[in-house]
Amino acid sequence: MKRLWELDAARGLMLVLMTITHVPSRLTDPVGQPFGFVSAAEGFVLLSAFVSGLVYSRIGYTQGVAVMRRAFWRRALKIYFIQAALLLFLFTVITGVGLQLDQPAVKEMVKYYLAHPHDALTFSLLLVYQPALLDILPMYILFMLASPWVIAFAMRHGWQWPMALSATWWAASQFGTTEWLYGVTRGVLHLPVPYGETGSFDTFAWQFLWFVGMWLGASRNAPDAQPFVFPKWLLGLAVAVAGGCFAWRHFGPTGQAPFGDDAGLNLLFDKWHLGPLRLLNLAALCIVAIRFGPPLLHRLPRPRWLEDMGSASLPVFCAHLVAVFVVVSLTGGGYAALPYGADLWVLGGVFVGLYAVARAVLRWEGGGDGGKKARPPAPHGQPVADAG
């Protein structure tokens, strides 16, 4: 049964864009938020949620909710151990190199760990303390733990109530509810970690994006699933919004800050809290991509290298974090720290390494055939994909 190679290629593209954004170079700012006021992180989370909803709901329909729940938990446990390994790598190797070379960027990244090493280690393993760039996987773990209960409920009663509750949580997060709840919890449990060290992503806001993706993916396994079709007026509006935000981002006078120095208005496009206008921009991009993406992709050469990276998205994502940590510890993390031209050599070396990781993982998982083994057919004629 054929794979959803378009989704693999899209995830691979998101990984490429995130790598360029995170590896400090002169390309970081121009490539940041490349499609408007939406970053690769939103695309990566939404695609991962879609694939998870597609794959795990299929397990629920064909093998039962208990099997689906165990599959989610195994995945969450795997991600947890990966997060722990990355934390230990950061606290030992990267911190040691950064201190030896006196790199301010590394010291800033692990400042809480340097000040409170025992608390930092303990609460990082409890997913409370989240250093920079290590705040995405904890979100995935929490979402993976919650997802089987949501899907099981939706299989019996529909998605209306789960999505209404998720949207309510997102709306509440726009008014600082997440920080307030953490403050209450911190006071009750006497947590030593300040809110500013719990990661940049507002979990209550980003859960909405995750469960929208899960809902859309799970809907593909429904017996009466229909292709996504949009009325002409909605498609026209989406094209206008996506095109306008793209022009505003790349040709406007304020760059990545839509309203310049106006912090209040910029919150409408805020990444960490998923501001309402950012969600509007993302929704418009999704509609445009669903309508025009597949025909365009099938007219272009098939991007096998992006497919491979997207197929092994979790290992490649983790390898990109290791690469970013190494580059920051050696160069100091400045966007113009290296001479002209050296940026391209560094990025080129990173991408060679990431692709090597993808190929090695696919070969390992595929038993030596590059991960292209045939897979069992999905229900109702739907193709399958990995939930990685």
Tokens read off for 330:
């050696």
pLDDT reported for residue 359:
96
User: Looking at the domain assignment, is residue 237 inside a domain?
Assistant: yes
347 found inside a domain: yes
Residue 42 belongs to a domain: yes
Residue 386 forms part of a structural domain: no
388 lies in a domain?
Answer: no
Q: Please state, in angstroms and rounded to a whole number, the distance separating the CA atoms of residues 79 and 383.
A: 25
Q: What is the pLDDT, as a whole number, of residue 196? A: 95
| Mean pLDDT estimate for the chain | 91
What is the model's pLDDT at position 255? Answer: 86
Number of domains making up the chain = 1
Domain that holds residue 316: 5-381
Query: Which pLDDT value is given to residue 375?
Result: 41
Residue 208: closest CA among 73, 83, 53, 45:
45
Instruction: Write down the pLDDT at residue 30.
Output: 83
Do residues 156 and 73 touch, judged by C-beta distance below 8 A? no
Q: What are the tokens at 11?
A: 């995830």
Counting as low any pLDDT under 50, the low residues of the chain are 1, 368-385
pLDDT of residue 332: 81
pLDDT at 260: 92
**334 located within any domain:** yes
Q: Which residues contact 60 (CB under 8 A, 6 or more apart)?
A: 67, 68, 148, 151, 152, 155
Alpha-carbon distances of 287 from 116, 167, 292, 300, 373, rounded to whole Å? 46, 19, 8, 20, 32
